[in-house]
A and B are shown apart, each in its own frame.
Chain A
Amino acid sequence: MHFDFKKNYRIDIRLIKRGNQAFWYGLLLLGLLLAPAVLPKYFVAQMTFILIYSVIGAGLVVLTGVTGLVSLGHAAFVAVGAYAQAILMARGVPLLVSLALSGALAAMLGLVVGLPALRLRGLYLAIATFSFGFIVEILVSHWESMTGGNSGLSVPTPTLWGVAVTGALFYYLCLVVLVLCLLLVLNVLRSPTGRALRAIRDSEVSAQSMGVNLALLKTYSFVLSAALAGLGGALYAHVMTYLSPEQFGLNLSIELLMMVVIGGVVWLQGAVLGAVFVIALPQAIAVIKDYLPPAIGQQTGLQPIVFGLVILFFVLVEPTGLYGRWIKVRTYLELFPLCPGSVFVRERHFLRTERLK
């Protein structure tokens, strides 16, 4: 059991809350650094996917978990990042520069889409991004001179200072990008901006009356998350090595949202846990399929049903996600014999109407 003695205000916003936190995250980082040396190639490739999804997920946590906005078109930003990366690399732009440019391009598009929609209530952003996602998908499949259309576009092998960045090296690149992105987001979230974003989520009216510029900060959060999605997309392009429009449809947007909801939408750790879950679930289904009776195992609809049921389970039963569950377990263990059952009772929510009366 530990006690927080708050001796000054900075304690509330410091990056490392407790001493043992630094130790455990350091250990995790060490494990991640050693992983390519120990694990087989296949696992390293899957872990690269997890790192990339986590970059995108970090953006979604800022947008959905912290600001309370929903985007149904994040796949479009991933697509923009991925295609920009492929095209820039083919034109001979250095890897790091084109990574930054891809993220910036996605951010600019986010600004264009978000600016009109963000003056409105939350649901409209979901619809505007939904439409935007379709427009980008159609544009990508028809702008053949640039994107290769439906026949696809191959991505050049990334090189950095003359060394081909593939396999384990690419894994390290993704790891560095992820750590930098997480630090960036953590620092945004503990700054006044981050607190303002949380205030917007909890109540727009009261945030506004405290002097929060709603449109500006919502746009900020949307652009940040679009930039991270673009960056993630740029890395994604190199893993896929071959891009085609149907990879970036509504399904990817849903998968990304599902990832943050499953992990726990309010926490950055949740984005990473969700990424692990989303990457591991199809593999788990593929493994379990063999043990099921063929009447069930051979169904094509098995995967969407499982995905749908998992979403329903998390939204209805475990809305705080995997990381929320972990916090509950941890609190229970810390308080062990004394933990009252009423600590984790779910708050009853009521419909908060945004309707004009």
Chain B
Amino acid sequence: MQIVISGLAVGCVYGLIALGFVLIYKATETVNFAQGELMMIGAYFAYTMAELWHWPFLLSVLLAILATALVGAAIERVLLRPIEGEPTIAVIMVTLAIGMIARGVASAMPGWGTDTHHLRVPYQGGLVDLFQARLSMEHIVIVCSTAGLCLALFYFFRAAKLGLAMRAVSQNQLAAYYIGIPVSGTNARVWALSGGIAAVAGILMAPITFVHINMGSVGVMAIPAAVIGGFGSIPGAVAGGLILGLCESLAGLYLPEGFKDAAPHVLVLLVLMIKPSGLFADQIRKKV
């Protein structure tokens, strides 16, 4: 039970980052390999405000999410919009380069550096007894806030005007443009949204893994999550993340050491081999 919950908690973080991947993929048909670095930036922002400047925790979390969202939108506006329509390699290289620069800059920032930092959270170290299992508060907070965020996103895409616009753009850009949706602006907002989600993931992850410049390597594990769930499906991303988190913690328990890291990637190759559109993909076939 404990292992299941901690697997679910890690899976939630994977799911959140995968959600960022999928949002950007659906909107612009590119994969943002710097998603993990966005998450790192979010965690660092929260750390700077809460620990270095001693602001209240909730305020700094909110501001960190906003700031990371702005960073995401800025990346889209400045770096990715000029290369719209260029070959895949161009976009992949740009997002990889953003990741490299983000890591380099973070290690050079005064107060950030290459050390591991500790972000103190109000719910630190709490334990809860539930169904004869001892659960740590950090894991419960992760699971609950992911669930809350998913619900909010669900309503956002169902009811909010911007959410509907994003869905329209992701289905058919030309048609969306014809009915008066500002397509480029919507893409920037999608990037902002996915930056914000990455920041949430980073802050949730901070009490468990601490804040350091290689935090973004979790993003590497989130790509398999997105593939397993299907790259075009938003609920699939979260489900893929949960599956991956569970697999990982169970593999860590029952399989020899080393398999834990390889398991998700083997799973990816299997999924690509058997059901390339992912487990939860929309069933659309091209009709001629």
Whether the Cβ atoms of B82 and A299 lie closer than 8 Å is no
Whether the Cβ atoms of B268 and A131 lie closer than 8 Å is yes
User: In whole angstroms, what is the CA distance A135 to B97 when docked?
Assistant: 23
| Stretch of B51-59, B102-110, B118-126, B151-159 lying at the A interface | B102-110
A349 beta carbon closer than 8 Å to chain B: yes
Dominant secondary structure of chain B at its interface with chain A = helix
Contact A319-B86, Cβ < 8 Å, known A134-B261, A134-B262: yes
User: In whole angstroms, what is the CA distance A356 to B269 when docked?
Assistant: 23
CB neighbours (8 Å) of A189 from chain B are: none
What is the minimal beta-carbon distance from B77 to any residue of chain A, in angstroms?
A: 13
CB contacts under 8 Å to B, within A126-146, are 126-128, 130-132, 134-135, 138-139, 141-142
User: In whole angstroms, what is the CA distance A351 to B265 when docked?
Assistant: 30
CB neighbours (8 Å) of B273 from chain A are: 116
CB contacts under 8 Å to A, within B63-101, are 79, 82-90, 92-94, 96-101
User: In whole angstroms, what is the CA distance A130 to B262 when docked?
Assistant: 12
Whether the Cβ atoms of B105 and A128 lie closer than 8 Å is no
A100 beta carbon closer than 8 Å to chain B: no
A7 beta carbon closer than 8 Å to chain B: no
User: In whole angstroms, what is the CA distance A120 to B275 when docked?
Assistant: 11
* Mask of A320-357 contacts with B, CB within 8 angstroms, 1/0: 00000000000000000000000000000111111111
CB neighbours (8 Å) of B173 from chain A are: 351, 353
Whether the Cβ atoms of B92 and A70 lie closer than 8 Å is yes
CB neighbours (8 Å) of B31 from chain A are: 123, 126-127
**How extensive is the interface on chain A, given as a class?**
35 or more
B114 beta carbon closer than 8 Å to chain A: yes
* Contact of B101 (CB < 8 Å), options: A122, A254, A257, A309: A309
Contact A68-B87, Cβ < 8 Å, known A134-B220, A254-B96, A315-B93: yes
B284 beta carbon closer than 8 Å to chain A: yes
CB neighbours (8 Å) of B258 from chain A are: 138, 141-142
CB neighbours (8 Å) of A124 from chain B are: 272, 276
A224 beta carbon closer than 8 Å to chain B: no
Whether the Cβ atoms of B286 and A351 lie closer than 8 Å is no
User: In whole angstroms, what is the CA distance A120 to B277 when docked?
Assistant: 9
Contact A135-B265, Cβ < 8 Å, known A308-B98, A315-B97, A351-B173: yes
B161 beta carbon closer than 8 Å to chain A: no
* Contact of B29 (CB < 8 Å), options: A302, A315, A354: A354
Contact A301-B106, Cβ < 8 Å, known A134-B220, A308-B101, A311-B97: yes
CB neighbours (8 Å) of B114 from chain A are: 300
CB neighbours (8 Å) of A131 from chain B are: 223-224, 264-266, 268-269
A72 beta carbon closer than 8 Å to chain B: yes
Contact A307-B107, Cβ < 8 Å, known A124-B276, A132-B265, A351-B85: no
Residue of A nearest to B175 (CB): A357
* Mask of B209-246 contacts with A, CB within 8 angstroms, 1/0: 00000000000100110010001000000000000000
Residue of A nearest to B85 (CB): A349
User: In whole angstroms, what is the CA distance A123 to B24 when docked?
Assistant: 14
Contact A130-B97, Cβ < 8 Å, known A312-B79, A316-B79: no
User: In whole angstroms, what is the CA distance A135 to B83 when docked?
Assistant: 32
CB neighbours (8 Å) of B90 from chain A are: 315, 319
A305 beta carbon closer than 8 Å to chain B: yes
User: In whole angstroms, what is the CA distance A309 to B107 when docked?
Assistant: 16
Whether the Cβ atoms of B100 and A304 lie closer than 8 Å is yes
Residue of B nearest to A120 (CB): B276
Whether the Cβ atoms of B88 and A139 lie closer than 8 Å is no
User: In whole angstroms, what is the CA distance A13 to B99 when docked?
Assistant: 41
Whether the Cβ atoms of B268 and A128 lie closer than 8 Å is yes
Residue of B nearest to A73 (CB): B265
CB neighbours (8 Å) of B220 from chain A are: 134, 250
Whether the Cβ atoms of A305 and B223 lie closer than 8 Å is no
CB contacts under 8 Å to A, within B160-191, are 172-173
Whether the Cβ atoms of A130 and B94 lie closer than 8 Å is no
CB contacts under 8 Å to A, within B258-288, are 258, 261-262, 264-266, 268-269, 272-273, 276, 284-286
Whether the Cβ atoms of B285 and A356 lie closer than 8 Å is yes
Whether the Cβ atoms of A132 and B269 lie closer than 8 Å is yes
CB neighbours (8 Å) of A132 from chain B are: 265, 269
Contact A357-B100, Cβ < 8 Å, known A127-B268, A132-B265, A300-B107: no
Residue with the greatest number of chain A CB neighbours at <10 A, chosen from B29, B79, B114, B265? B265
User: In whole angstroms, what is the CA distance A122 to B91 when docked?
Assistant: 12
Contact A308-B84, Cβ < 8 Å, known A131-B265, A315-B94: no
Which residues of A does B touch, CB under 8 Å? Answer: 64, 68, 70, 72, 113, 116-117, 119-120, 122-124, 126-128, 130-132, 134-135, 138-139, 141-142, 201, 250, 254, 257-258, 261, 265, 299-305, 307-309, 311-312, 315-316, 319, 349-357
Which residues of B does A touch, CB under 8 Å? Answer: 28-29, 31, 79, 82-90, 92-94, 96-101, 103-108, 114, 172-173, 220, 223-224, 227, 231, 257-258, 261-262, 264-266, 268-269, 272-273, 276, 284-286
Knowing that A116-B272, A127-B227, A304-B101 touch, tell me 4 more A-B residue pairs with CB under 8 angstroms: A68-B89, A131-B224, A299-B107, A312-B97
Q: Which 9 A-B pairs have the closest CB atoms?
A: A301-B104, A349-B85, A305-B104, A308-B101, A308-B100, A131-B265, A301-B107, A311-B97, A304-B104
12 CB < 8 A contacts A-B: A128-B268, A130-B223, A134-B261, A135-B269, A142-B258, A257-B93, A305-B101, A316-B79, A349-B86, A351-B29, A352-B85, A356-B286
